[in-house]
Each structure stands twice: as C-alpha cells, then as structure tokens.
C-alpha cells in the first residue's frame, strides 16, 4: 500500500455540473447527482483512472451541507481543495459565463500556486463552444469545453488533468535510504549492552565503508536476518559514561538524541523488577517523538509465575497509552527469543510507513461516520467532510471537518483506523481542520 495516488479536487459554483462531471470522470452511470437540493451526498471522494494513471477525485459539491452565503461556501471549497489537492479542476457553466465568485476563487487558486484545469461545462454542441472561448478571460489558460451530460470533450480535458497532476513517484519512493536506524534505549542496568553484544556477537560488526553509507562513529552496523541495521549511539551504551555528577541528566539527553536519530526504538525493560516511572517515561518519549516502538521485557530467566502475574497488571496500568507497540520477552544473557526482535522490527517499521490511499481512506471514513456519527452538541453535529493521509513515518492524517471533533471521537477514529489498516508498532498523528 505504498502507492501515492494524486488528488484532483473538482470545484465550482453549485449547479455548474461538478457531480455530473465527476460521474463522467469515474466512468459510472450511477447517480452521484442528487436532485433534491440541500441533500448531502454521502461520499465525496472516488477512485479514477485515465490513460493508465490512477488518481482520486474529490467532489467538493458534496461538502458543506449547511449552506450559508454562496461566496463563503465556494471559498471554503477552494480552501480545502488547496490544502488537499495536487491539482484542481475548476468547473464553470459556459452558458452562464464568469461571475464575481468565480473570479474570487481564481485569485485564491493562483495565490496557492495550484495547477488548475479550467472546464467550460454544458457545451453540448458546437454552437456553445463560442461562449466557452470567453473564459480565456479568467486567466487560467485554455478553457476545455465539455459536456458532462453527453461526454463531449471530456477526453481532452482529462489529458490536461493528467498533465497537471504531479509525476508518479519512482517505484522505490518509500524505500529506506541505507540501513534502518535502531535505537536501543532504557534505564541503566536493564540489559542494553548485553543485548547489543548478543546481536553484534552473532555476526561480527563491520563498519561498511564500501556501501557508501555514512555511519556515525558512535553507531554500529549489524547484520541481522540477512539485512543490515544501524544501531545508534552504541558507544553511549558500551562506554557507560558514569560521571559522578549529572550522570542521569546526560544519560537522558543521550537517550532522547538517540531516539531522534532513530526510525525505530527498542525500549528495554527489566521484567524481573517492578515497572518504574522512568521506564514509562522512555516509552512515552518514543511515541511522542513519532518513532516506531518495540518494548522488550528482558531478564525473562528471572521471571517466575508470581512476577509474571504482577508484570501483567503493571503493563495494563502503566502502558495503556501504547497498546499498539509489539512486546517481546527475552533473555539477552542467553539469547533466548532474541531472534524475535528482527520480526518485531520489521512489522513496526512496516506499520510506521503504511500509506492509505485517499479513496480507501474516505470510503472507510464514510462507513465509520454512517455507523457512529459524532454526538450532537448544542443542536450541532460535527461532520468529517474529507480526510487525507498527509505523510507516513509516522502516519499522519488530516481530517477536514464541519466543526471541532471531540477528543473521545478522535480516539475512536484512531482505534478504528488501527483495526482497519494495522499500523502495528507506530504512533498515529491525527489532526483536524475544522471549518471556522
Ligand atoms: P453541481 O451542483 O455543480 O454538482 O451540478 P450537478 O452535477 O448537480 O448539475 C446541475 C444540473 O446541471 C443538473 O440538472 C445536470 O443535469 C445539469 N448538467 C450538468 N452537466 C451538464 C451538461 O454538460 N449539459 C447540460 N445541458 N446540463 C448539464
Ligand atoms: P545496561 O546498563 O542496560 O547496558 O545493562 P547491562 O547489559 O550492562 O546489564 C546489567 C546487568 O544485568 C548485568 O549484570 C547483566 O549481566 C545483567 N543482565 C543483562 N541481561 C540479562 C538477562 O537477560 N538475564 C539476567 N539474569 N541478567 C541479565
């Protein structure tokens, strides 16, 4: 799911034929068009393909159920389109011509430097084409005369749309550059250096100059599971800088800088001892830094039935914030279960880099909102109009909403996102952009 599908937003005044045109673009006869005025369409985003190029079409006509002023409504459409779209299809009714509202939108689009394709719609025959020519005045370049109703001219328009969309990313767009960067962190004496010796011991550590990767002198390159990993700031683990003064302070600085440089952090916890605040703080700081996270319970050889019982309670109580983090039990001293670390690293990194295509995300959001609408507060109900995954590593989502969503509803969305798409081992950033 690492494909990056560009987004085309279709905007324009009501009744210019946006929905009819979207239907034409997605090649479906089924009615997106609602004849009942003011009825909210339950979807706004669709998957489309033209000339072998996939893209997502967003029908802004499906937004904004509570109509206020026309100008305000169009401005809101344009604003959202500018935020989420890679290109804009601006639809004008050629039989009506340019209005003040159209000119205002054009200014917004131009300021945002979005590529725009101008569709002069309702050009059902040759005769109307003359009127379309008048749209050159908008200053958006060539107007494409189309008839959304009959399909006339839509091929040329779609060619222009594909040209306006950004080039497809290279195949290995999401592929990591160089070895994966892993930080082993945890409070003193939990077994960090023992684990490192275990990992490095299997295959001799070599700093690989030939591969051209830059390796910090404090890092170590280790072969594991047939692949190369960069363990960060291992010098800090090995040397055990033990100044009498400020040891704690420098240790925590080192920990946070290692986390910052890493893609994934393995937090080691001594499972034979009660979980401490310091353990929890380190776990939390990994999630807050937006890095993939694995929790390793070490010294499992010293964990008996009774300790296990208490540990489970401690985990339930103290680690509720990160139910998504893979947990492994191991014994660094003997190497027991250490092989499971590689599998956990792989799945955490995969979760961290998961990308949900826009169409799939909005189909999911549509279902979610239909089944569990946001609670009504003070007679008003906030709605999710559209969502997009703005980035990966960590997965970051932006929801465009009609009003502010409550924190509990945001948590609910995050939970459902995880159920649907995984994101094992990764924090998720969920942002909302309520329309003011
Ligand atoms: P939207 O509000 O911009 O989404 O507009 P719609 O797609 O709902 O269309 C508004 C009205 O214009 C509908 O009655 C359509 O049938 C009509 N319409 C859309 N495209 C065309 C076209 O190319 N030619 C003609 N003659 N009518 C059209
Ligand atoms: P660090 O300070 O986190 O790097 O911890 P060390 O690797 O230096 O380990 C601290 C102590 O715990 C040493 O005495 C280790 O031998 C011991 N230790 C580390 N891993 C294990 C383990 O899996 N089981 C047991 N029983 N002891 C361990």
**For the residues 343-369, what does the mean pLDDT come to?**
91
Nearest-angstrom CA–CA distance, 411 and 388: 17
Q: Which of 169-173, 251-255, 310-314 has the lowest mean pLDDT?
A: 169-173
pLDDT score at 395? 96
**Ligand that comes closest to the CA of residue 189:** 2
pLDDT surpasses 60 at 155:
yes
**pLDDT-based confidence at residue 16 (cuts at 50, 70, 90):** very high
Predicted local distance difference test score (pLDDT) of residue 81: 79
Residue 47 above 90 pLDDT? Answer: no
**Mean pLDDT across the stretch 197-205?**
67
- The finding on whether 20 has its CB within 6 A of some atom of ligand 2 is no
> Model confidence over 26-38: pLDDT tens digits?
876 444 444 444 4
Atom number, ligand 1, closest to the C-alpha of residue 13:
3
Over 60: is that where the pLDDT of 173 sits? Answer: no
* pLDDT at residue 127, as a whole number: 83
Dist. CA 383–CA 402, nearest whole Å: 5
Instruction: Pick the residue whose CA is nearest to atom 20 on ligand 2.
Output: 191
213 marked as binding residue? no
For residue 217, what pLDDT is reported?
A: 67
Cα 90 to ligand 1 centroid, rounded to whole Å: 14
At residue 207 the predicted structure's pLDDT band, cuts being 50, 70 and 90, is very low
Q: Is the pLDDT of residue 365 over 70?
A: yes
User: Relative to the CA of 334, which ligand 2 atom is closest?
Assistant: 23
Model pTM? 0.72
182 annotated ligand binder: no
The percentage of the chain sitting over the pLDDT mark of 90, rounded to a whole number, equals 49
Task: Please determine, for residue 13, whether its predicted confidence score (pLDDT) is greater than 60.
Answer: yes
User: Which stretch, 98-112, 329-343, 384-398, has highest mean pLDDT?
Assistant: 329-343
333 lines ligand 2 (CB under 6 A): yes
Q: What ligand 2 atom has the least distance to the C-alpha of 186? A: 3
For the record, the structure tokens of 156 come out as: 């040329």
ipTM of the modeled complex: 0.69
- Average pLDDT (367-382) is 90
In this predicted structure, the answer to whether residue 278 has a pLDDT above a threshold of 90 is yes
Strands 380-381 and 384-391: unpaired
Ligand 2 atom closest to residue 336's alpha carbon, by position in its atom list: 23
**Confidence (pLDDT) at 117:** 96
Distance 241 CA to ligand 2 centre (A): 16
Measure Cα distances from 276 to 231, 257, 308 in Å: 25, 21, 16
Model pLDDT, residue 62: 61
Spell out where 374-422 has E strands.
376-377, 380-381, 384-391, 396-401
Average pLDDT over residues 38-48: 61
How many angstroms separate the CA atoms of 367 and 307, rounded?
A: 44
Taking residues 93-113, report their average pLDDT: 88
Question: Is 300 annotated to bind ligand?
Answer: yes
Over 90: is that where the pLDDT of 345 sits? yes
Predicted local distance difference test score (pLDDT) of residue 246? 54
Kindly state the tokens that stand for 323. Answer: 């139910």
Which atom in ligand 1 lies closest to the alpha carbon of residue 22? 7
Substitution candidate for ligand 2 out of 183, 187, 190, 191 with most atoms within 8 A of CB = 191
Residue 189 predicted with pLDDT over 60: yes
DSSP conformation letters of 232-289: ETHHHHHH----SSSHHHHHHHHHHHHHHH-SEEEEEEETTS---HHHHHHHHHHHHT
Please indicate if the annotation marks 366 as binding a ligand: no
CA of 110 to the centre of ligand 1 (A): 26
Q: How far is the CA of 151 from the centre of ligand 2 (A)?
A: 72
Judge contact between 51 and 65, C-beta under 8 A.
Answer: no
Ligand 1 binding pocket, CB closer than 6 Å: 12, 14-20, 33, 61, 121-122, 124, 147-149
**Would you state the pLDDT for residue 394?**
95
pLDDT beyond 80 at 65: no
187 assigned binding-site residue:
yes
Q: Which of 90-104, 336-350, 375-389 has the highest mean pLDDT?
A: 336-350
């Amino acid at each position: 799911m690492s494909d990056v599908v560009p987004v085309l937003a279709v905007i324009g005044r009501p009744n210019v034929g946006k929905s009819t045109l979207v239907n034409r673009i997605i090649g479906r006869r089924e009615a997106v068009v609602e004849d009942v005025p003011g009825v909210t369409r339950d979807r706004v985003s669709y998957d489309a393909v033209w000339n072998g190029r996939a893209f997502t079409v967003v029908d802004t006509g499906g937004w904004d159920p509570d109509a206020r002023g026309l100008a305000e409504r169009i401005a809101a459409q344009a604003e959202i389109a500018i935020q989420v779209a890679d290109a804009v299809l601006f639809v004008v009714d050629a039989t009506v011509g340019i209005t003040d509202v159209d000119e205002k939108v054009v200014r917004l689009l131009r300021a945002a430097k979005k590529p725009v394709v101008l569709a002069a719609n309702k050009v059902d025959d040759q005769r109307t084409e003359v009127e379309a020519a008048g749209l050159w005045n908008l200053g958006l370049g060539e107007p494409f005369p189309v008839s959304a109703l009959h399909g006339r001219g839509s091929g040329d328009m779609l060619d222009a749309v594909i040209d306006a969309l950004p080039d497809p990313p290279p195949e290995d767009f999401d592929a990591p550059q160089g070895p994966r960067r892993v930080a082993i962190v945890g409070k003193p004496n939990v077994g960090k250096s023992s684990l490192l010796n275990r990992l490095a011991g299997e295959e001799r550590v070599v700093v690989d100059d030939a591969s051209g990767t830059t390796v910090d002198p404090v890092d170590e390159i280790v072969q594991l599971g047939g692949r190369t990993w960069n363990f960060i700031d291992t010098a800090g683990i090995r040397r055990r800088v033990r100044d009498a003064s400020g040891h704690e302070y420098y240790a925590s600085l080192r920990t946070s800088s290692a986390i910052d440089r890493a893609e994934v952090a393995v937090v080691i916890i001594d499972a034979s001892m009660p979980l401490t605040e310091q353990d929890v703080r380190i776990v939390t700081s990994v999630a807050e830094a937006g890095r993939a996270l694995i929790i390793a319970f070490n010294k499992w050889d010293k964990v008996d039935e009774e300790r296990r019982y208490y540990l489970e309670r401690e985990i339930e109580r103290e680690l509720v914030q990160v139910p998504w983090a893979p947990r492994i039990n191991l014994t660094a001293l003997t190497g027991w279960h250490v092989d499971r670390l590689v599998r956990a690293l792989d799945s955490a990194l995969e979760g961290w880099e998961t990308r949900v295509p826009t169409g799939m995300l909005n189909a999911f959001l549509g279902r979610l909102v239909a089944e569990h609408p946001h609670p009504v507060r003070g007679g008003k109900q906030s709605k999710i109009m559209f969502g997009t995954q703005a980035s990966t590593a960590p997965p970051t989502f932006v929801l465009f909403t009609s009003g502010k969503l409550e924190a509990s509803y945001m948590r609910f969305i995050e939970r459902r996102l995880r159920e649907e798409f995984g994101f094992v081992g990764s924090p998720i950033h969920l942002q909302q952009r309520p329309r003011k």
